[in-house]
């Protein structure tokens, strides 16, 4: 067990070090499928550790499928690994087809919805977090206010005013455990089972999945170059009680909802008494001009709920998002956030509030906007240079991914499937909706493509799969 060099001064706890050493030994082939690993008791003795420490590591390896207990015969490296990569107990957070190599590193190339993690100011973050946890007082340990920490609600309201033209008081801002939790609050607060809800098509399938589980009737509405086709929605599902839309950059087509469409949508909502949820998941990231003001800022009738998240501007593991409701809806949302205990851990809310209040947030967004503009260029140029015969890359004003339209005989689904088999992440546009639209394109995030060399190298890997 030469690979088991532990570092007692390291930040990682010992059980995790053992787990990581074994995992690396297995993925690198030092330990082969079928090889026996030492009994926990024996290894603990050898390393001079508590048996529980080794057992925790083994438990993790077992749960993730790296090793298997074989009763009397001891524990062995999972024999099936010879054929395919093991699967973590809950691998569904990635768009599927995670494989071991990539799960062990960071994320897969082109993985959607993941910001440029290398550019996140981790030291500042760690400093604020350490400070917040040291300063923890008894009143920070009781239940946080259900609607969220006042500090954070205030900071968000101020930010939205400045950056998105949204005029709201902190009491209209409700902190949630993430975008899906925001949508859940909306369905609980304003809708009832059986209600029709417009969703964009192509769109973001998790939204439709959530609405269906919540008992709503999902009504897909077509999207064109001006965004969601309001007239199509009115024709096909006039009785809908709500519409969930992405006016900033349509997900996944990246188009902005045109002003006439914005007005038509607001008009429909006002006349039919329906609600509009503006999902502004990455509204900050527009590169060719100033970000557009939010749809909510045009709303005179209090029909728009604005949904924001920290997953894209900070990072997804924070699990904090928010929803801004009209003043008339505040009492109902207070009731619902209390009943379902929305908002998140006090510590996370404190860290984000401090990050915003001390100017790091605005600086980070500025920096990321420049970085993404650059990476988008790099990725588009590198991929075009190599794949130009097969794809045409959409020009687009913002967002976090490229759209590669298929020109030849290849279908987006076939190429995306091949890419996933070969350790890349890829989404096919034709899989993102249910309406027939004939568009065939790959959706590839550029946020983690950091050099021209990397872009061309990835392009070549895709080209090889198309041969």
Q: Which of 45, 133, 259, 385 binds its own copies (CB under 8 A)?
A: 133
Residue of the chain from 54, 154, 276, 378 that contacts its own copies (CB under 8 A): 154
State in angstroms the smallest separation of the CB of 255 from its own copies. 26
Q: Is 195 in the site for its own copies (CB under 8 A)?
A: no
Restricted to residues 340-399, the positions that interact with its own copies (CB under 8 A) are: 340-341, 343-348, 354, 357-359
Q: How far apart are CA 280 and CA 247, in angstroms?
A: 7
- Secondary structure element (H or E) that encloses residue 129, with its range: helix 122-134
- The verdict on 460 binding its own copies (CB under 8 A) reads no
217 is a site residue for its own copies (CB under 8 A): no
CA dist., res. 399 & res. 369, Å (int): 10
> At residue 362, what are phi and psi to the nearest 5 degrees?
-60, -45
Footprint of its own copies on 9-38 (CB under 8 A)? 11-13, 15-16
Q: Compute the distance between CA of residue 171 and CA of residue 331 in angstroms, rounded to an integer.
A: 10
Q: Count the site residues for its own copies by CB under 8 A.
A: 98
Instruction: Give the shortest CB-85-to-its own copies separation in angstroms.
Output: 16
Count how many Cα atoms sit within 13 Å of the Cα of residue 166 in the half-sphere of its side chain: 29
**Closer to its own copies by Cβ: residue 42 or 133:** 133
- Is residue 119 close enough to count as binding its own copies by CB under 8 A? no
Query: Per rule CB under 8 A, is residue 144 in the interface with its own copies?
Result: yes
Task: Considering the complex, state which of residue 21 and residue 180 has its C-beta at the smaller distance from its own copies.
Answer: 180
Q: Least distance (Å) from its own copies to the CB of residue 328?
A: 16
How do strand 173-176 and strand 196-201 relate by DSSP bridges? unpaired
- Site mask, its own copies, residues 292-311, x = CB under 8 A? -------------------x
Give every strand in the sheet of 67-69, ordered side by side.
36-37, 75-77, 67-69
Find the binding residues for its own copies in span 415-444 (CB under 8 A): none
Q: Are 285 and 369 in contact (CB under 8 A)?
A: yes
Asked whether 154 and 171 are in contact (CB, 8 A), the reply is no
Tell me the window of 36-44, 274-282, 313-321, 423-431 that interacts with its own copies (CB under 8 A): 313-321
Q: Is 410 left (phi over 0), alpha (psi -120 to 50) or beta?
A: beta
The answer to whether 80 contacts its own copies (rule: CB under 8 A) is no
Going by C-alpha positions, the residue among 436, 431, 437 that lies closest to residue 205 is 431
Q: Least Å distance between CB 280 and its own copies?
A: 18
Closest CA to 103 of 117, 118, 93, 113: 93
CB 88 to its own copies: min, Å: 6
The nearest distance, CB 397 to its own copies, in angstroms, is 26
Instruction: Among 75, 181, 256, 307, indicate the residue that binds its own copies (CB under 8 A).
Output: 181
Coil/strand/helix, residue 217: strand
Residue choice 24, 213, 301, 421 for contact with its own copies (CB under 8 A):
213
Counting contacts by CB under 8 A, is residue 78 touching its own copies?
no
Indicate which single residue of 334, 394, 431, 457 sits in contact with its own copies (rule: CB under 8 A). 334
**Any idea what the Cα angle at residue 276 is, between residues 275 and 277, rounded to 5°?**
120
Ranges within 93-112 binding its own copies (CB under 8 A)? 93-94, 103, 105-107
Residue 401 has phi, psi (to 5 degrees) of: -145, 160
* Residues listed for the chain: 467
Q: Binding to its own copies by residue 166, rule CB under 8 A?
A: no
């Amino acid at each position: 067990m030469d690979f088991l060099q532990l570092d007692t001064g390291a930040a990682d706890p010992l059980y995790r070090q053992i787990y990581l050493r074994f995992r690396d030994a297995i993925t690198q082939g030092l330990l082969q499928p079928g090889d026996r690993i030492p009994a926990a008791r024996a290894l603990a003795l050898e390393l001079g550790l508590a048996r529980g420490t080794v057992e925790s590591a083994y438990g993790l390896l077992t749960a993730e499928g790296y090793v298997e207990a074989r009763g009397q015969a001891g524990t062995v490296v999972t024999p099936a690994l010879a054929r395919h990569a093991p699967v973590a107990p809950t691998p569904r957070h990635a768009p599927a087809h995670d494989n071991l190599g990539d799960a062990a590193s960071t994320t897969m190339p082109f993985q959607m919805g993941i910001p440029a993690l290398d550019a996140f100011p981790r030291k500042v973050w760690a400093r604020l977090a350490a400070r917040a946890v040291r300063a923890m007082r008894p009143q920070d340990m009781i239940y946080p206010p259900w609607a969220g920490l006042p500090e954070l609600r205030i900071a968000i309201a101020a930010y939205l005013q400045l950056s998105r033209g949204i005029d709201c008081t902190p009491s209209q801002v409700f902190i949630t455990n993430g975008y899906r939790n925001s949508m859940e609050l909306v369905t609980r607060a304003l809708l009832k089972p059986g209600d029709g809800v417009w969703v964009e098509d192509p769109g973001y399938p998790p939204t439709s999945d959530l609405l269906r589980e919540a008992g709503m009737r999902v009504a897909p509405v077509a999207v064109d170059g001006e965004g969601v086709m309001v007239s199509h929605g009115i024709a096909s599902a006039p009785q809908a009680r709500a519409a969930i839309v992405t006016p900033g950059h349509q997900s996944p087509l990246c188009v902005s909802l045109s002003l006439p469409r914005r007005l038509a949508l607001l008009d429909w909502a006002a006349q039919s008494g329906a609600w509009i949820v503006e999902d502004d998941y990455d509204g900050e990231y527009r590169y060719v001009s100033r970000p557009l003001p939010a749809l909510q800022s045009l709303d005179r009738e209090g029909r728009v709920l604005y949904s924001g998240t920290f997953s894209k501007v900070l990072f997804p593991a924070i699990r904090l998002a928010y929803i801004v409701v009209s003043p008339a809806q505040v009492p109902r949302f207070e009731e619902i956030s209390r009943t379902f205990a929305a908002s998140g851990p006090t510590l996370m809310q404190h860290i984000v509030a401090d990050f915003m209040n001390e100017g790091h947030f605005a600086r980070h967004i500025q920096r990321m906007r420049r970085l993404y503009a650059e990476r988008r260029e790099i990725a588009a140029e590198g991929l075009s240079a190599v794949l130009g015969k097969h794809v045409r890359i959409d020009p687009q004003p913002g967002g976090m991914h490229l759209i590669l339209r298929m020109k030849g005989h290849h279908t987006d689904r076939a190429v995306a499937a091949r890419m996933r088999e070969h350790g890349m992440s890829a989404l096919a546009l034709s899989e993102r909706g249910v309406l027939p639209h004939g568009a065939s394109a790959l959706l590839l995030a550029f946020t983690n493509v950091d050099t021209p060399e990397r872009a061309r190298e990835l392009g070549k890997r895709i080209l090889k799969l198309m041969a």
